Amino acid sequence: MPDEMWSEKYRPVHLYQIIGNEKAKLTFITWLKHWKPGSKSVLLYGPPGTGKTTLVQVVSNEFGYKLIEMNASDVRTKTAIMSTAGPIARESSLYVTLYNGAGSILFLDEVDGIFGREDRGGIGGLLKIIDETNVPIILAANDPWNPKLRLLRRSCEMIRFYYVRPPKIIALLKRICQEEGVEAEAKAFAFLAEKSGGDVRSAINDLQSVIGERKVLKVQDVKRLGMRDRKIDVQEALTGIFFAKNVKEAIQSFNNSKIDYEMMLHTIHDNLPLQYSDPIVLASAYNAISRADIFFGRIARTQNWSLLKYAIEQMTAGISTIKKEKTSPVHYRFPPSKIMMLGRTKSERNLRRGICERVGVKCHVSRKAANTDFLPFLKVIFNNDTDLASEISSWLTLDNEMIGYLEEIGRNN
């Protein structure tokens, strides 16, 4: 087995060596050619192995840019981003003139991974840099539809990358085999292309793993690899579920998706009226969803997880096998409206909980009792009697935000 990974050995050096996504490549080059301070940054998005990172590396090399990369392995807190990317983003045109180059490009790979405690404030820092930058900023993500990336999406031009088509993958594999002096059957290439599911990197890795020391590659050699289960995004998963030809396909589409069952239930619920227009079909679909919901309720109550398979069958196969009308896939709505509503009201709910906690401590009642029995009166007091309100707020040690909240909801009521 050779030491070097072929996905690295045959990593494109020139633009014409990058296969697939031709339109995306040209759009990206056009964006870079016309970029000037104040222009939008670019967000390359699409599934892994479709050439996003490679395109940035090759373009920067071919056009003489100095590429500064930050990927998921780096710490990407606000401070880290500002200290690394900040000075580059403020690079002046004098630097470019002095060093006789095209300047720098800042590339942040896997921005959809900038979350959590370890990356606190990362997105905010990034937005600030995008606003003030003097150099082109390129972002890449597999799934840009996370609500946390909403502001980032607005400040970027989006370029979508699709899975690479089989004939193009076969062309590349053929070329690699020629370079390696390996003779291969056409069907072997076709099988590898099918197995890769449009992911070029995995196709090259599979080719390398089956060739090993061989000089001739036959179709039976590659068939031992089996098919790869690829994690699919929400649009693909919903298309797979709604258009499954049988129960097995519907469940498989759900199993291959990256979404948990609760989120999937809400997502399917939201998208049913978009997909089905016949009221009878729609009613049957809602019925299947409600049965799934009953199973989830029983699981929560009894912790009997063996019921999960019935819930999943109801919410996937239950909605795909009932369709009578001929439909085509639509652009599915995601994230679910319930999750979005909870996100919007999170700060308000936190404030309300804080007030109820303080009332509970002082009045020796539960948070629930404080919410139902005390809060309605507090709203009235805070809107009508400022002296009493100030006494109560100092007794309950309410902060300004809480006082403002009580005044506001009192006014709205």
Q: Residues in the site for another protein, rule: CB under 8 A? A: 14-19, 22-23, 25-26, 29-30, 158, 160, 162-163, 165-168, 170-172, 174-175, 178, 190, 193-194, 197-198, 235, 239, 328-331
Q: Whose Cβ is closer to another protein: residue 171's or residue 322's? A: 171
Cα-Cα-Cα-Cα dihedral of 395, 400, 403, 404, to 10°? 170
Q: Minimum distance between the CB of residue 289 and another protein, rounded to whole angstroms?
A: 22
Q: Minimum distance between the CB of residue 407 and another protein, rounded to whole angstroms?
A: 40
Q: Whose Cβ is closer to another protein: residue 301's or residue 331's? A: 331
Cβ–Cβ < 8 Å for 250, 275: no
Q: Minimum distance between the CB of residue 173 and another protein, rounded to whole angstroms?
A: 9
H/E stretch holding 159? strand 156-160
Q: How far is residue 315's CA from residue 399's CA, in Å, rounded to a whole number?
A: 45
Q: Whose Cβ is closer to another protein: residue 122's or residue 144's? A: 144
Main-chain dihedrals φ then ψ at residue 115, nearest 5 degrees: -140, 180
Q: How far is residue 402's CA from residue 354's CA, in Å, rounded to a whole number?
A: 8
Q: Minimum distance between the CB of residue 15 and another protein, rounded to whole angstroms?
A: 5
Q: How far is residue 169's CA from residue 74's CA, in Å, rounded to a whole number?
A: 31
Closest CA to 238 of 230, 229, 246, 250: 250
SS (H, E, C) 160-200: ECCCCCHHHHHHHHHHHHHHHCCEECHHHHHHHHHHHCCCH
List the structure tokens of 315: 């919410």
Cβ–Cβ < 8 Å for 41, 138: yes
Q: Whose Cβ is closer to another protein: residue 122's or residue 198's? A: 198
Q: Minimum distance between the CB of residue 241 and another protein, rounded to whole angstroms?
A: 14
For 33, residues 6+ apart whose C-beta sits below 8 A from its C-beta are none
Q: Whose Cβ is closer to another protein: residue 162's or residue 377's? A: 162
Q: Minimum distance between the CB of residue 412 and another protein, rounded to whole angstroms?
A: 34
Q: Minimum distance between the CB of residue 191 and another protein, rounded to whole angstroms?
A: 10
Q: How far is residue 3's CA from residue 321's CA, in Å, rounded to a whole number?
A: 49
Residues in the chain: 413
Q: Whose Cβ is closer to another protein: residue 197's or residue 336's? A: 197
Q: Whose Cβ is closer to another protein: residue 29's or residue 247's? A: 29
Q: Minimum distance between the CB of residue 391 and another protein, rounded to whole angstroms?
A: 55
Closest CA to 77 of 122, 114, 110: 122
Beta strands in 228-354 (DSSP E): none
Q: Whose Cβ is closer to another protein: residue 200's or residue 392's? A: 200
